[in-house]
Chain A
Amino acid sequence: MSAPESQPVGLLAQFETAADILHAAVAVRDAGYKKWDVFTPFPIHGMDDAMGLKQSKVGYFTFCGGFTGFFFGMWMIWFMNKHDYPLVVGGKPLFTPLFAFPVSYELTILLSAFGTIGGMLLLNGLPRLYNPLFKMPRFKKASDDKFFVFIANSDPRFSDEKTRELLQHAGASSVEVVED
């Protein structure tokens, strides 16, 4: 079925309802696991707290993008219209932040958006070309109507029996070994 060198990488447990997965996440968190994740077809309200996740860091990337966009815009307009090729048009000043504002503002938003999306992809490790979970037939339902917990066996607290017991006790409808 699988390649001869395939190794188990962890346990995948399926849950049937949003409440079950939330309670399972609390149980896994409280048992002290670190290398694990929850897979749901849509974001579940309260799951970040249930998993003990910190606030996402995407905002820092947004700020860097926006900061760059605004000051690059201002600098670009100053450089082009006042410094490199000064040309009086309509008796208006060669540079003021006022007429430079609309373009700098648009560049702030443009680069903030680039920063946000780039940051989100970077933090999520996307694009990701390979994921052993996608080999599990059940896991196709993770984007439909089922909920999953995956605990990696590289987690220091992982043990085949105890982890399986924890997941089953939390209400899993199935627990399977994921191989890579």
Chain B
Amino acid sequence: MSSAAITAGGAQPAKRSRSHADPQPAPPKLVVANPPKELEREPLVLNGRSHAWITDAIAGICERPMPKWWWPAFILSFGGMGMMFTLVAYLISTGVGVWGLNQPADWAWDITNFVFWIGIGHAGTLISAVLFLLRQKWRTSINRAAEAMTLFAVACAGIFPVVHTGRVWFALLPGYLIPFPNANYIWPQFRSPLLWDVFAVSTYGTVSLLFWYVGLIPDLATLRDRAKNSIRGALYGLFSLGWSGSNRGWSNYEKAYLILAGLSTPLVLSVHSIVSFDFAVSQVPGWHTTIFPPYFVAGAIFSGFGMVLTLMIPLRSLFHLEDIITTRHVELMCKVILATGSMVGYAYGMEFFIAWYGGSPYELYAFKNRAFGPYWWAYWSMITCNVISPHLFWFKWCRTTMWFVWCVSIVVNIGMWFERFVIIVTSLHRDYLPSSWGYFTPTWVDVFTFVGSFGLFMTLFLLFIRFLPAIAISEVKAVTPQADPHHPLGGAKDHHH
């Protein structure tokens, strides 16, 4: 084991002409020394777990009864969801006046919550698509749950812009946002970024759902094959579409997966860019800046990884998945937070610099007002959470101590909510004329609708871990050494080379 033997051309199977019965003379061996200890990577699945162990550990979660904590958590989340829908019904039946927004701050918590949730979703797509294209194999342990998180976050995000229109039926009926011939003989107006947003977010939700489902098909087949009762077998069988694991199937499947990753990558970048156009295309000082698209995308990934950690750290310890979601996985996610958090910090600085350098007094005022005006507390909360806290991850102890990472992930999410609040409310609450100045305060309906949206999010997530494999079983198996036909653990024998 001191040196790895690689034969020339041995990695690729032989051409057709080399038949099994007529072996060629063995090519000369090329002896390559192992890399130095510091460069060796930790394995992605610890303790040399077998494929059967991986199947049992992951599929077993949705086959056994849920642990005791699941029901209280579910009831609490379900109650939160009920509260949110009750308050939405109250809003629709009464009017948007039940919220605290009014002129001049006519966007406030509604759009803050929308951007907050949609941003959280972006980490799921980043993990599933961008890290796939970059061949980051560690993504396999976390991509399934992160993609599920994306879908549920998009579901939460979708509610706010729809209900903030007040007369919701106008937003939902075909013909107003979705082009459809209607009684008014009028079409949507495609010059507005708000309409681009409708297409971006609905495409994003749809493609994320399809990508997630395609990834689930082989694992649903595993659950089908393990099903002990016929109802489970029938349902998992139905949704696995008769997947057999045939290699002709895998060949098309892998190509489709690669293409979907390639499509989702520009999609995820475009979605938050278009969300930022809702602001950047307007004339409002504090919004009208070209840095918004990259800055929003970085912030979205930053907050999304925060939420992935918030969910995955309890998940790995409650279900004893430490061998699959290892400390290395958590550490790598912390590094992504550090990188994107630094980009966000840079963007905050650059915005201020351009506000001064650009020479527009309104722009400069908007920024001075952000930091030192009546909402100074929101601005400095944002700076503390988003600019200072990620830099703790320069230290290894901070990246590898689970309770600490979990706390920082919460702080990151609080910070990113404040970022959206700061951008939206501080730019609006002081209009050009001092006679049009105001101060936005949320009502109890604002607060509890937002709190309730976490109930919706957690209800969906708890149902997900109850019924579906929370980790991509076939993908995790594929990154183990046993899956590699050229590795001794995969059964490779030296004389075969």
Contact = CB atoms under 8 A, between A and B. Distances in A.
B246 interface: yes
Interface size class of B (residues with CB under 8 A): 35 or more
Interface string B128-170: 0000000000000000000000000000000000000000000
Contacts of B274: 102
Contacts of B52: 144-145
A111 B292 CA distance: 28
A18 interface: yes
Interface in A41-55: 41-53, 55
A59 interface: yes
A84 interface: yes
Nearest to A38: B247
A128 interface: yes
B253 A43 contact: yes
A140 B244 CA distance: 9
Contacts of A128: 241-242, 244
B493 A120 contact: no
B450 to A, nearest CB: 27
B86 interface: no
Given A19-B492, A109-B267, A62 B248 contact: no
Interface string A125-165: 01111110110000011111100000000000000000000
Contacts, number: 230
A168 interface: no
B14 A26 contact: yes
Interface in B222-274: 222, 224-226, 241-256, 259-260, 263, 266-267, 270, 274
Given A37-B247, A117-B214, A126-B242, A81 B189 contact: yes
A67 interface: no
B216 to A, nearest CB: 12
Contacts of B193: 102
Contact of B255 (A44, A56, A129, A144): A56
A81 B190 CA distance: 7
A107 interface: yes
Tell me the dominant secondary structure on chain A's binding face.
helix
Given A18-B483, A117-B260, A144 B190 contact: no
Contacts of A114: 210
Contacts of A38: 246-247
Given A18-B484, A19-B486, A37-B248, A42 B478 contact: yes
Contact of A43 (B19, B200, B250, B490): B250
Contacts of A43: 247, 250-251, 253-254, 474, 478
Interface of B: 11-14, 16, 19-20, 50-52, 55, 179, 185-193, 195-196, 199-200, 203, 206-207, 210-211, 214, 218, 221-222, 224-226, 241-256, 259-260, 263, 266-267, 270, 274, 277, 474-475, 477-478, 482-486, 490-493, 496
Q: 9 shortest A-B CB distances, which residue pairs?
A: A17-B491, A128-B242, A19-B491, A145-B51, A80-B187, A120-B256, A56-B255, A127-B241, A42-B478
